[in-house]
Amino acid sequence: MSSIIPVDLVSFATDPSYLNTLVTTNASNPSVINLLAYDESFVSVVGENATARQLHNLDWQAFHEAGVYNKDAKKLYVTSNWAGDLDNPINVTIIDLANNYSISSTRYSALAEANGATSYYPPGTQTNSSTPSRVLYCDQGDLVNPAGLVSVDPVTGESEKILNNYLGRNFSSPNDARQHPVTGDIWFTDADYGYIQHFRPAPTIPKHVYRFSPATGEIAAVADGFTQPNGLEFSPDYKTLYVSDTGAVEFDKNLTRPATLYAFDITEDGKRLTGRRTFAYSDNGFPDGLHTDTEGNVWAGCGDGIHIWNPLGTLIGKIWIGVETNNFAFLPGAVLVFSNAQLWIVENLKAVGREISKDFGDLPAGAPISSLFQVRHTPTAGRAVFASQDIAEGTLVWRSEDLTLNVLLREYRREVCGQCFGYEYGRDLDIRDKTVGFAFCSKACQDQWREENGEIGVQAWTAVEALVRKRSKEDSDMVDADLPRPKVKEIQQAWGNVAAQAALIRAARVSEQAIPDKEDVAPITKQHKKAVSKALQANITPDVMSFCVSGLVWRYLHPEQWERLEALADDKTPYHSSDDLGAFTRTYLHLLAILPLPLLPLVTAETLITLSSRDSHNSFGIRSLEDDGSEFFGYGCWPAASYFNHSCGPNIEKNRNGKTWYFKAGRDIGKGEELCITYLSGEERKLSRVVAGSQLMLDLQLLYA
């Protein structure tokens, strides 16, 4: 288990023992870790739903360094800690991700004393290839074998040394390595922990960071001045290299020596380092293994767990375990934590490791990522979610809070909160914001809605509400199904038929922001004005309009997330009838005529087609209760949740709280099973309001009997 605990830095500033009041020690309860938030941004990095559990607690230190995934084997390769005996060299611990994290140990013939490691693509292969990579180990050597870099094929066990000297001089004890995905060069650190631990001769070379080209054999020392250079890692844009110095621990432990992270700029040619600067200092232990996530946060294994700094070097939080943690490995939706004898996993993790896409394969933008399941392509559904391990009944499988476009049917606008979707049957909400057409259950919800929609969003909803109140409407609901559905050619023709009028309306609107005598703007004619008037006189469908506006405002506020919607299943014939298609083409012209000018570039036929074509297979009902027979208010699109297919025999129970969906295992689910949720029932949707109304009348009769 785990919990997110806020750290009061003001209290900490005057009380050195403050942290002891917050955490549960690992010794007193080894099944509990703590997620310590030193900054409010920590929650958005790990996610509100992150949980942790201990996978192994051994009587030897099997989980120390490395942590490299191999696609072909579907296993993670970790190195054990030095056991203090040359007759018992360091092992490679293999974690089988496809078999409930079971472990085994092995050794490789060319590898004397392994430490850090990285995925390795030899010269001639693509470093971002979907082909399984080899594992490149830092070999610390021993009293007989020289130190260097060893390449291993983890499937066949074949191993070979690719480097064992610096231009004729011996390395001390190479500690950790990374391969640059563009140049293919290997960057690695060389400390002298082999000598300190008495299995290597005395050092004969300074402690450097090196860059080695396997293709050309070129090797260069690119940084020095370290007490003990240890972990290293690239930023996700490969413009920065982070290097840790763990000099605080040598023959003795001296807290006045470095436990420090340094940052370097990588030159444009990818060959050299400049701009050395202190990035961060670890308050507990020393920063050993380093990894970055896709947002540029820097994670380090330290004396009490994993410390996380933002790209500016601010400590934002800790995954606090209470014991020394040397390294860790990102998985999809999780992180494995190596605490020597202990192996932990933090699941339901929001952060995505820098190398996740390369290691585990590309996923569509916005797809759910978790160690509990995998998203795979299927010949029937296009893509589906499958359990990657056994999942016990009641397990929280996924939490989806990525609501994009949505619509509350107009007939329920007085009863359903526009922000949290709160509802009381038959009772109008007290707060009605008539300018935007929504009701709210509290002032806080109203304020939050306005904040989330922003000034332009509020203007957009105000314009829509003004038009709806002014004009008679064709239908207060989304247009009902009426077969036959328009075919692709008919859909293309319908959108083509409004293109000329749309161009005239757009030109007329653009002229509103032109500066006279300073911009070359075509004159607005009667034809332009007539096009606008004609659009505003056409029948309107308020719910179709609201649906489209929600998507446009969302895209305006979150442009970087538009690809999440584009990645969803695409319905080429999404319109139930010609009337339904007409409602969307008319809405297109309406919105061009009334929405605020900053939204105008987004109001295109392509955008509205995308909204409608991603709707039918990807939406979830917004209901009074969570069962499908309850009151139906409207629907919304949560992209990540839509990857779970519907089934008549579901094994996932869904539950909505406000704007967040929770998916729990409805029964024990076996590894490899598809994870499916329930269908929405159209007949129940139609009858639910009648049933609920009858129940209300019965309640009133009983009350006054």
pLDDT of residue 154: 93
Q: Residue holding tokens 């830092």?
A: 138
473 vs 421, residue with greater confidence: 421
Cα separations in angstroms, 134 against 118, 141, 174, 359, 647 = 9, 20, 18, 11, 40
| 675 and 580 belong to one structural domain | no
Domain contains 592: yes
Domain contains 223: yes
| 562 and 684 belong to one structural domain | no
pLDDT of residue 387: 92
H/E stretch holding 377 reads strand 373-378
Q: pLDDT-derived band of residue 394, with 50, 70 and 90 as boundaries?
A: very high
pLDDT of residue 75: 93
pLDDT above 50 for 331: yes
pLDDT of residue 626: 52
Q: Residue holding tokens 């293999």?
A: 94
What average pLDDT does this structure show over 309-313? 98
- Of 328, 360, 392, the last residue of a domain is 360
Q: pLDDT tens across 584-639, in order? A: 999 999 999 999 999 999 999 999 999 988 866 678 888 776 554 567 888 899 99
What average pLDDT does this structure show over 431-447? 95
| 588 and 700 belong to one structural domain | no
- Amino acid identity of 163? L
Domain contains 439: no
Domain contains 422: no
What average pLDDT does this structure show over 241-248? 97
Q: pLDDT tens across 640-688, in order? A: 999 998 887 899 999 888 899 999 999 999 988 999 997 654 333 333 4
Enumerate residues 6+ apart whose C-beta is below 8 A from 673. 386, 387, 651
pLDDT above 70 for 480: no
Strands of 618-681 (E only): list them. Answer: 619-623, 632-637, 645-646, 652-657, 660-665, 676-677
pLDDT above 60 for 556: yes
Enumerate residues 6+ apart whose C-beta is below 8 A from 464. 437, 542, 545, 546, 549, 591, 594, 595
Q: pLDDT-derived band of residue 566, with 50, 70 and 90 as boundaries?
A: confident
| 456 and 506 belong to one structural domain | yes
Q: Tell me the percentage of the chain whose pLDDT exceeds 90.
A: 64
Domain total in the chain: 3
| 504 and 537 belong to one structural domain | yes
pLDDT above 90 for 442: yes
Cβ 501 vs Cβ 535: under 8 Å: yes
Q: pLDDT-derived band of residue 697, with 50, 70 and 90 as boundaries?
A: very low
| 396 and 455 belong to one structural domain | no
pLDDT of residue 372: 84
CATH number of residue 687's parent domain: 2.170.270.10
Of 670, 647, 644, which Cα lies nearest the Cα of 385? 644
Enumerate residues 6+ apart whose C-beta is below 8 A from 409. 476, 477, 478, 543, 632, 633, 634
| 279 and 203 belong to one structural domain | yes
260 vs 377, residue with greater confidence: 260
| 657 and 610 belong to one structural domain | no
Using CA atoms, how far apart are residues 644 and 640, in angstroms rounded to an integer?
A: 8
pLDDT above 80 for 702: no
Strands 645-646 and 676-677: parallel
Q: Is 269 buried (19+), middle (13-18) or exposed (0-12) by CB count in 10 A?
A: exposed
Cβ 637 vs Cβ 404: under 8 Å: yes
| 386 and 356 belong to one structural domain | no
pLDDT above 60 for 176: yes
Using CA atoms, how far apart are residues 105 and 109, in angstroms rounded to an integer?
A: 14
CATH number of residue 256's parent domain: 2.120.10.30
Domain that residue 93 falls in: 4-360
What average pLDDT does this structure show over 395-409? 89
Q: pLDDT tens across 96-152, in order? A: 987 889 999 999 999 999 999 999 999 988 665 556 689 999 999 999 999 999 999
| 587 and 673 belong to one structural domain | no
Which own/partner contact pairs does 260-268 have at CB distance under 8 Å and 24+ positions apart? Answer: 260/287, 261/287, 261/290, 261/298, 261/300, 261/309, 261/313, 263/313, 264/223, 264/240, 265/239, 265/240, 266/234, 266/238, 266/239, 266/240, 266/241
| Structure-token pair, residue 282 | 């670890």
Domain contains 487: yes
- Of 617, 649, 666, the last residue of a domain is 617
Q: What's the mean per-residue pLDDT of the chain?
A: 88
pLDDT of residue 402: 86
pLDDT above 50 for 703: no
| 354 and 394 belong to one structural domain | no
Q: pLDDT tens across 191-219, in order? A: 999 999 999 999 999 999 999 999 999 99
Using CA atoms, how far apart are residues 93 and 77, in angstroms rounded to an integer?
A: 6
- Of 360, 391, 412, the last residue of a domain is 360
Enumerate residues 6+ apart whose C-beta is below 8 A from 154. 70, 72, 73, 75, 77, 94, 134, 135
Domain contains 427: no
Domain contains 633: no
Using CA atoms, how far apart are residues 176 and 230, in angstroms rounded to an integer?
A: 6
Domain contains 376: no
As a dihedral over the C-alpha atoms of residue 185, residue 191, residue 195, residue 201, rounded to 10 degrees, the angle is 50
| 392 and 526 belong to one structural domain | no
